[in-house]
């Protein structure tokens, strides 16, 4: 009986811990993460204070923080080839990182770090030098900056069969030296690294290549981490928010269900299917059952996105900034529909898969510059600064905890729906106009369409819609309109 009680206690403790790791630790009603891909720490700190906090963003996913190999031409993916756990990259040093985390936390913006627990750098001829000056010999699995030696890695092998669990989890992903997370020593170094970031005030981690590590090893590592730092405004006993990169198209040997009990999981099918729909390959009417009805993870377990730094560079259905009208429409639907833990992308311009972030002649990352409209210049795209996207972050905040209701469609790709009595979205992805009196569910009054304009000094700079006592308003979205979407909410009443 005593043994049973102890087992039950341990089981309940483990369940409680995993549930805590699904909590993003957001402030107030904020509920959208932005990935400021390859931004410098000092620039992120300023962006938190000057732009993200005033517009209601909840958190920032930052690029890997630990020292990486230096690759010719400085492609973005060199950040995913670690050489030590020293906090020195082209984004800045540890002091600058710590300052950024503190300043962002002070204005209610949480920081989530993209962490590399699966591997170290791949083969490099001779001695490699990292961004912090550390030397290593990756071909010999020698990383004295940690230190790691060959005994800390799985034996080298190539992944040739993605249906072979052993290969997926113990061979080398694209030649990257595969750490043995079952080793007590390796576990201790990974825990030490993550705990240091927690001490500095981060709120959680995006775990790169999670499916390439056994879930039981990750469970041990996550469960061994310190609680979040209360000096940065976290409650006592709060746990790091975990979201794990697991690519699962529904027929994988290693499935997302092995990881969703440990934290959230990146729902790649969301990205692919929303791209299919807004590219016109699927009628939008089918989105009424979006989410779990499409075979996706449950809402509280799914990290959702239109595109990410990897798949935006691939060919296929995934949308990116290069299809701006469809991208804005898909993002508006993403942030309006009550499903998932939302993340939006903030990119830099690229011509090919390896394009580095904007840099000067000395290969230093340059800071974004801003135009009169607040958008980014000099090679940065900054989708999060597009009015049509940051306005939907405000919409998502305004309608938080409300249900979807009053779905309407034309039997094809014109749709609308309400979020309680607080918000309304309409989308036209047909080649003819949407002109219809529709139920907005909003209290009577005049509302500013936050897609086409903003509410400034009580006046709307774009379209406005008058809602009658029954909650109905006349909605017009022309087939050739710049954005193809209209959004109203209670905080944008004229």
Q: Where in the sequence numbering do the catalytic residues fall?
A: 208, 245
By DSSP bridging, strand 445-448 and strand 464-467 are: antiparallel
Question: What is the C-alpha R_g of the chain?
Answer: 23
Q: Which pairs with CB-CB distance under 8 Å and at least 24 residues apart come from 139-148?
A: 141/177, 143/83, 143/84, 145/67, 145/83, 145/84, 145/85, 145/86, 146/84, 146/85, 146/189, 148/120, 148/179, 148/186, 148/189
Residue 262 near residue 242 (C-beta atoms within 8 A): yes
Q: In this structure, what DSSP letter does residue 50 have?
A: I
Counting every residue written for the chain, the total comes to 494
Residue 86 near residue 93 (C-beta atoms within 8 A): no
Find the largest Cα–Cα distance for the chain: 75
Side-chain half-sphere of 452: how many Cα atoms within 13 Å?
23
Backbone region of residue 175 per phi and psi (left: phi > 0; alpha: psi in -120 to 50; beta: other values) = left
Q: Is the peptide bond before 86 cis (omega within 30 degrees of 0)?
A: no
Question: Cα(486)–Cα(329) distance, rounded to whole angstroms?
Answer: 9
Side-chain half-sphere of 381: how many Cα atoms within 13 Å?
22
Q: 3-state SS string over 66-129? A: CCEECCCCCCHHHHHCECCCCCCECCECHHHHHHHHHHHHHCCCEEEEEECCCEEEECCCCCEE
At residue 96, φ and ψ (nearest 5 deg) are -70, -35
Helix (H) or strand (E) holding 435: strand 434-439
Helix axes 215-223, 2-20, angle to 10 degrees: 90
Residue 262 near residue 219 (C-beta atoms within 8 A): yes
């Amino acid at each position: 009986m005593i043994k049973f009680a102890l087992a039950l206690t341990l089981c309940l403790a483990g369940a409680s811990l995993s549930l805590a790791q699904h909590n993003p630790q957001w402030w107030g009603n904020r509920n959208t993460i932005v990935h400021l891909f390859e931004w410098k720490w000092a620039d992120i700190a300023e962006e938190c204070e000057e732009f993200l906090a005033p517009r209601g963003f909840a958190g920032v996913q930052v690029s890997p923080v630990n020292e990486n190999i230096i690759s010719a031409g400085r492609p973005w993916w060199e950040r995913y080839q670690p050489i030590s756990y020293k906090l020195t990259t082209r984004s800045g040093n540890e002091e600058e990182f710590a300052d950024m985390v503190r300043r962002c936390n002070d204005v209610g913006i949480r920081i989530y770090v993209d962490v590399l627990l699966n591997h170290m750098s791949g083969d490099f001829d001779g001695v490699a030098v990292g961004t912090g000056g550390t030397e290593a010999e990756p071909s010999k699995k020698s990383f004295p900056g940690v230190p790691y030696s060959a005994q800390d890695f799985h034996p080298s092998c190539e992944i040739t069969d993605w249906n072979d669990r052993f290969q997926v989890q113990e061979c080398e992903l694209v030649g990257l030296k595969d750490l043995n997370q079952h080793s007590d020593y390796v576990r201790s170094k990974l825990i030490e690294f993550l705990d240091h970031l927690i001490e500095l005030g981060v709120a959680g981690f995006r775990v790169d290549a999670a499916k390439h590590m056994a879930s039981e090893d990750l469970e041990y590592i996550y469960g061994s981490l310190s609680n979040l730092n209360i000096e940065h405004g976290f409650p006592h006993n709060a746990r790091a928010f975990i979201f794990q990169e697991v690519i699962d198209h529904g027929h994988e040997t290693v499935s997302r269900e092995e990881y969703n009990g440990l934290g959230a999981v990146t729902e790649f099918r969301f990205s692919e299917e929303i791209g299919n729909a807004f590219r016109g390959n699927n009628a939008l009417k089918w989105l009424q059952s979006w989410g779990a009805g499409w075979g996706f993870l449950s809402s509280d377990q799914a990290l959702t996105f239109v595109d990410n730094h990897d798949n935006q560079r691939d060919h296929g259905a995934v949308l990116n900034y290069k299809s701006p009208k469809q991208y804005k429409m898909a993002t508006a639907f993403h942030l309006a529909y009550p499903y998932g833990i939302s993340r939006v992308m903030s990119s830099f311009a690229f011509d090919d898969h390896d394009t580095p972030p904007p840099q000067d002649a000395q290969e230093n990352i340059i800071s974004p510059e801003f135009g009169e409209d607040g958008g980014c210049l000099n090679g940065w795209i900054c989708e999060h600064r597009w009015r049509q996207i940051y306005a939907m972050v405000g919409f998502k905040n305004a309608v938080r905890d409300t249900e979807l209701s009053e779905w309407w469609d034309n039997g094809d790709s014109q749709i609308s729906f309400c979020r309680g009595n607080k918000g309304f979205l309409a989308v036209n992805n047909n080649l003819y106009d949407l002109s219809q009196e529709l139920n907005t569910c909003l209290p009577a009054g005049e509302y500013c369409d936050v897609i086409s304009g903003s509410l400034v000094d009580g006046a709307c700079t774009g379209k406005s819609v008058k809602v009658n006592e029954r909650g109905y308003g006349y909605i017009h979205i022309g087939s050739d309109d710049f954005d193809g979407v209209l959004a109203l909410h209670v905080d944008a009443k004229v």
